[in-house]
């Protein structure tokens, strides 16, 4: 039997799956559904300080999906490369209602899951006030959300617009808080790992590196962004590469645990993040579009795979990929003993690969495409674009 439990700062998580702070955690009833759906923890929708209270009223509509239901086979089959654009800033609750809701969530969830309160202030005073209030709640854990892209766009020094205050804020909150806490940092800075190190130095128990990017989309007929004018959260499963890079590079330098989770869409993504060094893995878009029960499905699939591979616990796979994640300068340069050849039995002479061979190494013949080994640079692109997998890498 595989043991998926993990422990951070004395808090036990029955599994590493976390429902991220977003629509699915907007109130106690939803958080309970998140835990019942199989997750080990839920992070409540963030409470903004009073300076950002405009964000408690969501613009409507606030969601737009690009390249989603157009996917062939939808809804039985779901795409991997789509974008969910959203503008949903913070919890609609004021301070008192938020704290009461956290208590209700913990009372409903009991020992079946970890309830995490999420705070986002705009001044050290505001952060400390919220920390003092959350100390009095039944929250198991607190997250300091210094990642939100919207608050700064509202003209409030918060989230991704307050990166320069990170160390000072975390230090002040560390002194004020009586509970274990993580700090959620923005990926929208040129060095998220340096930011994560500041969080560690200031005394956080963990760093959350799962915040989304922001972006916009222009409708060329109306010359307007859709569906709202301002920037919005921008992301989807295709962003996992960026998330894995951040987590892998941070895991090599940090001692504190990492909460990961940009672009989680299937159980393999959870394994990927853990192999890159994460301890907990959260999902936002994955749960928003696949429902709460996807956590249980991911967990079952992950357990079956781990059992088949002989892995018994999360620690068996944690950081497993790290030694293989090397610096660019360490990647082997063109070895002399490899080449590319086309299996003419598979080639349909469609000509697709010709457009992408910038070395003019491919010729279409009556028997299929043929590669000139003297011109081929073994860049690998023909093998990636060919619809019939005809080009194949070989070792001499």
Task: Say if residues 150 and 87 touch (Cβ distance below 8 Å).
Answer: yes
- Asked if 22 interacts with ligand SF4 (CB under 6 A), we say no
Q: For residue 150, which of 210, 209, 87 has the smallest C-alpha distance? A: 87
Tokens 């300080």: give the residue.
49
Enter the tokens of residue 28: 């106690």
User: Is residue 370 close enough to count as binding ligand SF4 by CB under 6 A?
Assistant: no
Counting Cβ atoms within 10 Å, is residue 171 exposed (0-12), middle (13-18) or buried (19+)?
A: middle
- Report the C-alpha gap between 48 and 158 in whole angstroms: 9
Burial call 219-254: b when 16+ CB within 10 Å, e when fewer: eeeeeebebbeebbbbbbbebbeebbbbbbbbbeeb
Residue with token string 């043991």: 3
Least distance between ligand SF4 and beta carbon 342 (Å): 5
Nearest CB to ligand SF4, comparing residues 60 and 334: 334
Chain residues in the site for ligand FMN (CB under 6 A): 20-23, 45-46, 84, 86, 88, 90, 118, 145, 147, 184, 210-212, 233, 235, 261-264, 283-286, 288
- 378 forms part of the interface with ligand SF4 (CB under 6 A): yes
Shortest distance (Å) from residue 331 CB to ligand SF4: 17
Q: CB-wise, 173 or 353, nearer to ligand SF4? A: 353
Q: How far is CA 352 from CA 341, 343, 371, 381, in A?
A: 15, 15, 14, 11
22-30, 97-105, 324-332, 371-379 -> range binding ligand SF4 (CB under 6 A): 371-379
Which does residue 322 touch among ligand FMN, ligand SF4, none (CB within 5 to 8 A, set by kind)?
none
Say how far apart CA 271 and CA 332 lie, in whole Å.
26
Which 3 state secondary structure label does DSSP give 299? Answer: helix
Taking CB under 6 A as the rule, does residue 381 contact ligand SF4? yes
Q: Tell me which of ligand FMN, ligand SF4, none is bound by residue 378, counting a contact when its beta carbon lies within the kind-specific cut-off of 5 to 8 angstroms.
A: ligand SF4
Q: Which residue has the tokens 């109306």?
A: 222
# binding residues, ligand SF4 (CB under 6 A): 28
Does residue 338 interact with ligand SF4 by CB under 6 A? no
Across 101-114, b (16+ Cβ under 10 Å) vs e yields bbbbbbebbeeebb
- CB 40 within 8 Å of CB 18: yes
- The nearer residue to ligand FMN, 296 or 344, going by C-beta atoms, is 296
**Is residue 369 a contact residue for ligand SF4 (CB under 6 A)?**
yes
390 is a site residue for ligand SF4 (CB under 6 A): yes
Residue 304 or residue 393: which is nearer to ligand SF4 going by CB? 393
In angstroms, the CA 237 to CA 290 distance is 12
Query: Given the complex with ligand SF4, which of 300 and 356 has the nearer CB atom?
Result: 356
**Helices in the chain by DSSP H: which ranges?**
28-36, 95-109, 124-135, 150-153, 166-176, 192-201, 240-253, 267-275, 285-290, 294-309, 314-317, 352-356, 381-385
Question: Nearer Cβ to ligand FMN, position 212 or 318?
Answer: 212
Decide if residue 348 touches ligand SF4 (CB under 6 A): yes
Q: Which of 19, 21, 40 is nearest to 159 (CA)?
A: 21
Q: Does residue 63 touch ligand SF4 according to CB under 6 A?
A: no
Assess 342 for contact with ligand SF4 (CB under 6 A). yes
> Under the criterion CB under 6 A, does residue 365 sit at the interface with ligand SF4?
no
377 sits near ligand SF4 (criterion: CB under 6 A): yes
Of 39 and 369, which has the nearer Cβ to ligand FMN?
39
Minimum CB separation of residue 387 from ligand SF4 in Å reads: 6
- In the complex, which residues of this chain contact ligand SF4 (CB under 6 A)? 340, 342, 347-353, 356-357, 359, 361-362, 368-369, 371, 376-382, 386, 388, 390-391
């Amino acid at each position: 039997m595989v043991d998926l439990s993990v422990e951070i700062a004395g808090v036990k998580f029955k599994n590493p799956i976390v429902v991220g702070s977003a629509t699915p955690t907007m109130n106690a009833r939803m958080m309970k559904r998140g835990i019942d759906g199989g997750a080990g923890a839920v992070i409540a929708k963030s409470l903004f300080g009073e300076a950002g209270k405009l964000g408690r009223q969501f613009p409507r509509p606030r969601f737009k999906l690009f390249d989603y239901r157009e996917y062939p086979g939808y809804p039985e089959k779901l795409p991997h490369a789509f974008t969910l654009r959203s503008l949903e800033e913070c919890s609609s609750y004021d301070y008192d209602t938020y704290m009461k809701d956290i208590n209700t969530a913990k009372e409903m969830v009991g020992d079946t899951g970890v309830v995490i309160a999420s705070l986002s202030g705009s001044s050290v005073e505001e952060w400390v006030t919220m920390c003092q209030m959350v100390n009095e709640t039944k929250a198991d854990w607190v997250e300091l959300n210094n990642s939100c892209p919207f608050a700064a766009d509202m003209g409030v020094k918060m989230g991704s617009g307050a990166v320069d205050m990170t160390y000072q804020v975390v230090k002040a909150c560390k002194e004020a808080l009586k509970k274990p806490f993580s700090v959620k940092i923005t990926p929208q800075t040129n060095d998220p790992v340096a930011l994560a190190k500041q969080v560690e130095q200031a005394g956080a128990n963990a760093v959350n590196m799962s915040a989304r990017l922001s972006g916009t989309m222009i409708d060329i007929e109306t010359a307007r962004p859709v569906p709202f004018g301002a920037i919005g959260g921008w992301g989807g499963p295709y962003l996992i590469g960026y998330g894995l890079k951040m987590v892998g590079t941070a895991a090599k330098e940090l001692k504190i645990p990492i909460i990961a989770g940009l672009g989680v869409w299937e159980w393999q993504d959870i394994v990927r993040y853990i192999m890159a060094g994460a301890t907990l893995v959260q999902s936002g878009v994955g749960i928003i579009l696949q429902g709460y029960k996807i956590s249980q499905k991911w967990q079952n699939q992950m357990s079956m795979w781990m059992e088949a591979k002989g892995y018994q616990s999360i620690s068996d796979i944690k950081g497993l990929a790290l030694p293989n994640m090397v610096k660019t300068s360490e990647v082997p340069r063109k070895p002399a003993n490899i080449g590319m050849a086309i299996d003419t039995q598979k080639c349909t002479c469609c000509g697709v690969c010709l457009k992408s061979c910038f070395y003019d190494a491919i010729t279409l013949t009556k028997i299929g495409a043929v590669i000139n080994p003297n011109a081929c640079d073994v860049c690998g692109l023909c093998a990636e674009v060919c619809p019939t997998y005809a080009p194949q890498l070989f070792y001499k």
